[in-house]
Amino acid sequence: MSLGTNSRVMAYLQIIRPKQWYKNLLLFVGIAFSKNLGNFDLLQSAILGFLAFCALSGSTYILNDIVDRKRDLAHPTKCKRPIPSGRMSLRSAGIYGILLATGAFLAAIVIGPEFIMTLFAYLAVAVSYSFYFKNIIILDGLLIAAGFVVRAIAGAVAVSVPISPWLIISVFLLALVLAFGKRRHELAMLGDEARDHRQVLKEYSLHMVEDMMLISVSTLIMAYSMYTFLAANQWMMLTIPFAIYGLLRYMSLVHTGEEGGGDVDLIFRDLPSVLNLVCWVLIILVILYYAPEIDLGLGG
């Protein structure tokens, strides 16, 4: 493979941001928390739904890059993306995005009509964000959070299982924390040039974003705690300390991190965060699939 061909292949891979696909792991929340990970048929549906959302989210990333191509030129790292760097033409990017979206909906047909509706919902959120809401203070964060919620709901729909409203609220609030954490990093990193990169940043201030993060984190801790209190197996309360530590550690990384300090993938480069996440997931799986159920009467 020639150097030029290799560069084009990398451009097609980079523009769909595979590092962001971890967000689509939310599609496995429904099957995991409904204790159906051992059901091969349902697991197949969850995996197919995950792939569909990876393809569709990739197409929305392409759309976002097309819309933001001029502003990305002013950003120290985003200027290296395929479109602003000139490694991919607008026409090629547009065709690529359409093919990915088409593939996503073809996969959704196999899963069922309700799952197709979740894809449409995600697409509506992503398109409205790219063309309008990304420039409106607070609503930009709410739309990002809505995209996370749609993913969680889509995972439950794909395997036809119910999902706790408190868990949905927790996903929404977690996404808000991450969104405002990213805004804080952009403000701190870009300084006076922040508004040249993202129009909405001129409406934010560091103090305001930090207050929003604090409110979101506090509310998230309460919502997640309520989820564990009302869970069928209240051994889930044992996971609260891990959730709190993970949130506080992220807050610390946002305030002390340098390049990438607001990106979620920083968590996966931070050993204490990774160890805490692994322990949290393992404890949840043990409680859901192996621990005897207890009810302390906290649900009323």
* Same domain for 127 and 30: yes
Q: Which of 106, 127, 162 is the last residue of a domain?
A: 162
* Same domain for 180 and 104: no
Alpha helices in the chain (DSSP H): 3-14, 29-33, 40-67, 69-72, 90-111, 113-131, 139-158, 165-190, 194-197, 206-230, 240-256, 271-289
Place of tokens 């649900």: 299
Are 90 and 65 a contacting pair, CB within 8 Å?
no
Q: Which of 147, 162, 177 is the last residue of a domain?
A: 162
* pLDDT-based confidence at residue 109 (cuts at 50, 70, 90): very high
Q: Tell me the per-residue pLDDT of 16-39, one tens digit each, with 9 for 90 and over.
A: 998 888 899 999 999 998 889 889
Concatenated DSSP letters of 55-100: HHHHHHHHHHHHHTHHHHTTSTTGGGSTTTTTSS-HHHHHHHHHHH
Residues with Cβ within 8 Å of 211's Cβ and at least 6 positions away in sequence, in order, are: none
**Residue 279, pLDDT score:** 96
* Same domain for 43 and 60: yes
Look at 70-84, 85-99, 219-233 and tell me which has the smallest mean pLDDT. 70-84
Q: Which of 104, 138, 162 is the last residue of a domain?
A: 162
Q: Tell me the per-residue pLDDT of 267-299, one tens digit each, with 9 for 90 and over.
A: 888 999 999 999 999 999 999 998 887 766 665
Q: How many angstroms separate the CA atoms of 184 and 110, rounded?
A: 41
Q: How many domains does the chain have?
A: 2
pTM recorded for the entire structure: 0.87
**Residue 260, pLDDT score:** 47
Q: Tell me the per-residue pLDDT of 165-193, one tens digit each, with 9 for 90 and over.
A: 999 999 999 999 999 988 888 887 766 66
* Same domain for 186 and 115: no
* Same domain for 250 and 142: no
Supply the CATH number for residue 124's domain. 1.10.357.140
Where is pLDDT greater, at 234 or 118?
Answer: 118
Q: Domain residues for 122?
A: 1-162
**Residue 257, pLDDT score:** 61
Three-state DSSP state, 1: coil
Residue 128: exposure state from Cβ atoms within 10 A (0-12, 13-18, ≥19): middle
Q: Tell me the per-residue pLDDT of 135-165, one tens digit each, with 9 for 90 and over.
A: 899 999 999 999 999 999 999 999 988 888 9
Q: Tell me the per-residue pLDDT of 180-233, one tens digit each, with 9 for 90 and over.
A: 988 888 887 766 666 666 778 888 888 999 999 999 999 999 999 999 998 888
Cα dist from 269 to 23, 189, 247, 262, whole Å: 16, 19, 15, 13
Q: How many angstroms separate the CA atoms of 300 and 176, rounded?
A: 30
Read off the pLDDT of each residue in 99-122 and give the average, rounded to a whole number: 95
